[in-house]
Amino acid sequence: MGKLEGKVALVSGSGRGIGKATALKLASEGASVVVNDLDPVEGDAVAAEINAAGGRALAVNGSVSADDFATRFVEAAMDGLGGLDIVVNNAGYTWDATIQKTSDEQFQAMIDVHLVAPFRILRAAAEPIRIMAKKEAAEGREIFRKVVNISSIAGLNGNFGQSGYSSAKAGIVGLTRTLAKEWGRHRVNVNCVAFGFIETRLTRAIEGEQAAIDVQGREIKVGIQPELINTFNSLIPFGRAGTPEEAADSVYLLCSPESNYISGQVLLCSGGLNI
């Protein structure tokens, strides 16, 4: 029996990287998982992997920024898996430029995916959570639910070339602390993990021509110059970037029963980096 046996989790952006590692971690502890990815091939593959391992999962793919996404995501948990206990708002990407080169579209895209989408998902989850919590309280049962929003060290300290990303990641901290106050009466722990330098496709070393990802028709350049990666690693007390699995473990900590009296907090997962 895993510590999350019988729980149902939503994990956005879980077709690869940190999100995939998080979905697999929660499933390994017994949670049923609603997976999501912009690329349906990736999202479906993770759901299939969980099911093949004996777990329960389904995929709700597509952009978290779509107007109808939040409702579809929450309904999948409630109707498809029979409940909703954990929400991990992980989906996102970086689209960097110094402020004078940042367009309105670019800035708004970062706000939409990193702040508006989590807000909508949590708003859609509010009424089902309230109804379940009210029923449990009437029965004399204290059941804790978990929200883990994903921020970044850039949201705490800012980062060169990331005015949109940093602003959105700072905003998610405010949303976290507000919902911790609103939802405490429903026994929902609302916390945030702020990642430092984690190994993903967004942070790989640029070798030759810079790689790009496609986000709904937009070609977004990704990757970091090797010399900058070396600088980052020299600043991290552990001397290296974190793995997606290590990042997922920090999310799991705030989904576990041991976090039942922890709410409104920001956990920095950065190997000791704090600048």
Closest CA to 187 of 149, 143, 148: 143
Chain-centre distance of CA 6, in angstroms? 21
Residue type, 214: D
Rounded-to-5 percentages of helix, strand, coil across the chain: 45, 20, 35
Helix axes 17-28, 40-52, angle to 10 degrees: 20
Does residue 252 come out as left (phi exceeding 0), alpha (psi in the -120 to 50 range) or beta?
A: alpha
Reduced to 3 states, what is the DSSP secondary structure of residue 21?
A: helix
* Annotated active-site residue in 93, 165, 252, 261: 165
Burial class (CB in 10 A: 0-12, 13-18, 19+), 125: buried
Helical H runs in the chain? 17-28, 40-52, 69-75, 104-111, 117-138, 153-157, 163-183, 226-235, 244-253
The answer to whether 165 is a known catalytic residue is yes
SS3 assignment for 105-125: HHHHHHHHHHHHHHHHHHHHH
| Active-site annotation, residues | 165
